[in-house]
Chain A
Amino acid sequence: DSGVTQTPKHLITATGQRVTLRCSPRSGDLSVYWYQQSLDQGLQFLIQYYNGEERAKGNILERFSAQQFPDLHSELNLSSLELGDSALYFCASSASGGASETQYFGPGTRLLVL
């Protein structure tokens, strides 16, 4: 158990809908990362937050947005969902977001868009 929690574990929704994925980092970690893993793209970095502020951005679609709240939990919002958004979404956390830090991954949210 990494100490990172993600909810929900599974999500089934329809195209065009909007969903929110939630992540609680390990106790004491200030930085949160979101990744998307699909069969054809592998594990792709989406976005990083540190203590409530956005720090780094990957190839995150404009339909996706995220935020980190004062209690350090984070939410990833996915809107206007398409079939291709079906994937595993992982949240990870680290102490302060530095380059040499270990990132601890949560169990993931499996999203299926029908």
Chain B
Amino acid sequence: SQKIEQNSEALNIQEGKTATLTCNYTNYSPAYLQWYRQDPGRGPVFLLLIRENEKEKRKERLKVTFDTTLKQSLFHITASQPADSATYLCALMTTDSWGKLQFGAGTQVVVTP
């Protein structure tokens, strides 16, 4: 069966350090992988999209890698700040499911001063 797995344990990290989150998937051939941020009680907010033929994407302090052989994406927040505390969701889209994003359960990040 298809699965998208993110670490269910909260990631507690000190301000200034790099947070690294993992998204593993099975029985998918995603054409696109996206990362979203979600604050409690609010809608997800798009952060980054990476295509299957891209290895890495960056945006300010965020970096995403995509390894289709390992079926894994890593999401890095460098120089983390307390304002980065939130739940981060990865989402996959395959070429035969236009518009149908499949989300992982998300990983909560807590950045302490």
Give the interface of A toward B (CB within 8 A).
2, 4, 31, 33, 42-45, 48, 50, 55-56, 58, 88, 90, 92, 94, 97-100, 102-108, 110
Whether A48 and B100, one on each chain, are in contact in the complex, defined by CB atoms closer than 8 angstroms, is yes
Whether B102 and A90, one on each chain, are in contact in the complex, defined by CB atoms closer than 8 angstroms, is no
Give the interface of B toward A (CB within 8 A).
31-32, 34, 41-46, 49, 51, 89, 93, 95, 97-106
Whether B93 and A99, one on each chain, are in contact in the complex, defined by CB atoms closer than 8 angstroms, is yes
Whether A55 and B43, one on each chain, are in contact in the complex, defined by CB atoms closer than 8 angstroms, is no
Counting chain A CB atoms within 10 Å of each CB, which of B49, B89, B98, B104 scores highest?
A: B98
Whether A100 and B32, one on each chain, are in contact in the complex, defined by CB atoms closer than 8 angstroms, is yes
Whether A2 and B45, one on each chain, are in contact in the complex, defined by CB atoms closer than 8 angstroms, is yes
Whether A43 and B99, one on each chain, are in contact in the complex, defined by CB atoms closer than 8 angstroms, is no
Query: Could you pull out 17 A-B pairs where Cβ atoms are within 8 angstroms?
Result: A2-B43, A2-B45, A4-B43, A43-B44, A43-B103, A48-B99, A48-B100, A50-B99, A56-B100, A58-B100, A90-B43, A102-B46, A103-B46, A104-B46, A105-B44, A106-B43, A110-B41
| A residues in contact with B102, CB < 8 Å | 45
Choose one: A42, A94, A104, A110; the contact of B103 (CB below 8 Å): A42
Whether B49 and A56, one on each chain, are in contact in the complex, defined by CB atoms closer than 8 angstroms, is no
Whether B106 and A42, one on each chain, are in contact in the complex, defined by CB atoms closer than 8 angstroms, is yes
Whether B42 and A103, one on each chain, are in contact in the complex, defined by CB atoms closer than 8 angstroms, is no
In the assembled complex, how far is the CB of residue B17 from the closest CB belonging to chain A, in whole angstroms? 27
- Bound Cα distance A50, B98 (Å): 11
In the assembled complex, how far is the CB of residue B38 from the closest CB belonging to chain A, in whole angstroms? 8
Whether A97 and B42, one on each chain, are in contact in the complex, defined by CB atoms closer than 8 angstroms, is no
- Bound Cα distance A28, B70 (Å): 38
- Bound Cα distance A43, B89 (Å): 9
- Bound Cα distance A36, B98 (Å): 18
Whether A99 and B44, one on each chain, are in contact in the complex, defined by CB atoms closer than 8 angstroms, is no
